[in-house]
Amino acid sequence: MKYIEQVFKYKHEFWRYLLGSIVIIFVSQIMQIPFVLAVLYKEGVSVLESGDGYKLLSVLEPNLNLFLLMLPFAVCLPLLFLWVKKFHEQSIISLTTARKKIDWKRVKFSFLLWAGITAVLVIIDIQLAPENYEYNFKLVPFVILFLIGVIMIPIQTSLEEYIFRGYLMQGFGALFLNKWAPLLLTSFIFGGLHAFNPEVAKLGYEIMVYYIGTGLFLGILTLMDDGMELSLGFHAANNLITALLVTADWTAFRTHSIYKDVSNPELGWDIYIPVLVVFPTLLFIFSKVYKWSDWKEKLTGKITAPMVVEKISETNPL
């Protein structure tokens, strides 16, 4: 059975997805209280009243800042799993993949592929424009960053994947009975939520092309591969390797990374390279490795809900 279609075996009324989304959002907001309290303790209420997102994210020591920012995800991921199990009576495996079990080799391959490419691209950029980078490595803070990052960043990225490429992808699929609507809707919602990132305030809304394009790429991975394994690996590698290698004062992740980007950020034509060149190239690689076919059907085809036939009692015929 295909990835979205299998949701019909479980409780899939759309109100359950709306309610589940509201619960996750509410709990995630509650779990931001420790971060807010820590900022208030350090700077007082004036930092909140200023409305300066950059200042808010730079108040705390970077490792503590990262830990508190990741804390809501660590609570909401098991909460989402519990909601799916109790209110949809659905297994985590079927939320993850159409395969009989989660293919961890796919997760590993996607993670290592994108981690390697990201590291190479960062090294090349440092070599080509060394004036844009400052060596930032300090052993003890970096070790702490590594431990926090390895544990909590994959939780953060996994929650995002399970919500957008899993929970909502299947929910919208059952609602609209096609593939293209959940693909587009989850991509735009995913991108739209990143509008609150400090990068957008610094660079402008044109960067939303990258965020929405990333959501579209991850959605295509999920539909073509009938599972989230590849998107889980890619997303974890993208955020973890970036947090470890490069930081900047204008990004959401201000970390004790190896390098610090000190350039004056500007948006140019290069914002379109990931969406128009890198992601299509990755899709080509994955398609060859996993022998994908029938792209049109998997990305835009209709979804047929199974017919429910009531069994007529032989002892009480109509």
Q: Which residue has the higher pLDDT, 43 or 75?
A: 75
pLDDT for position 286 = 98
Q: How far apart are CA 117 and CA 237, in angstroms?
A: 10
In a domain, 312, yes or no: no
For residue 63, tell me if it sits in a domain: yes
Whether residue 313 is predicted with pLDDT greater than 60 in this model: the reply is no
pLDDT number for residue 143: 97
The predicted model gives 288-311 an average pLDDT of 84
Establish how many alpha carbons lie within 13 A of residue 146's alpha carbon, considering only the half-sphere containing its beta carbon. Answer: 9
- Residue 91 lies in domain: 5-300
The pLDDT of residue 312 is: 38
CA–CA separation, 300 and 203 (whole Å): 33
Name the band, by pLDDT with cuts 50, 70 and 90, for residue 271: confident
Q: What are the tens digits of pLDDT across the range 210-230?
A: 999 999 999 999 999 999 999
How many domains are there within the chain?
Answer: 1
Average pLDDT over residues 97-103: 97
Which of residues 251 and 145 earns the better pLDDT score? 145
Is the residue at 318 inside a domain?
Answer: no
pLDDT of residue 248: 87
Q: Cα dihedral sign for 18, 21, 25, 28?
A: positive
- 306 lies in a domain? no
Mean pLDDT of the chain: 91
Residue bearing the bigger pLDDT, 207 or 4: 4
pLDDT at 274 over 60: yes
Q: Which residues contact 315 (CB under 8 A, 6 or more apart)?
A: none
Percent of the chain predicted with pLDDT > 90: 76
**Residue 134 pLDDT > 50:** yes
Q: Scanning the structure block, which residue is given the tokens 């009692």?
A: 313
- Which residue type occupies 139? L
| Confidence class for position 309, pLDDT limits 50, 70, 90 | very low
Q: How far, in Å, are 46, 237, 239, 302 from residue 233 at the CA level?
A: 40, 6, 10, 28
> Does residue 305 form part of some domain?
no
The mean-pLDDT minimum among 43-47, 62-66, 168-172 falls in 43-47
pLDDT in tens, 39-63: 888 876 666 655 555 666 678 899 9
Residue 310 has pLDDT above 70, yes or no: no
Predicted confidence (pLDDT) at residue 314 exceeds the cutoff of 60 = no
DSSP string covering 224-248: HHTBSHHHHHHHHHHHHHHHHHEE-
**pLDDT band of 318, cuts 50, 70, 90:** very low
CA pair distance 159, 20, nearest whole angstrom: 13
What are residue 260's phi and psi, to 5 degrees? -125, 130
Amino acid, single-letter form, for residue 96 = T
Residue 314 inside a domain? The answer is: no
Q: Of the ranges 11-25, 80-94, 183-197, which one carries the lowest mean pLDDT score?
A: 183-197
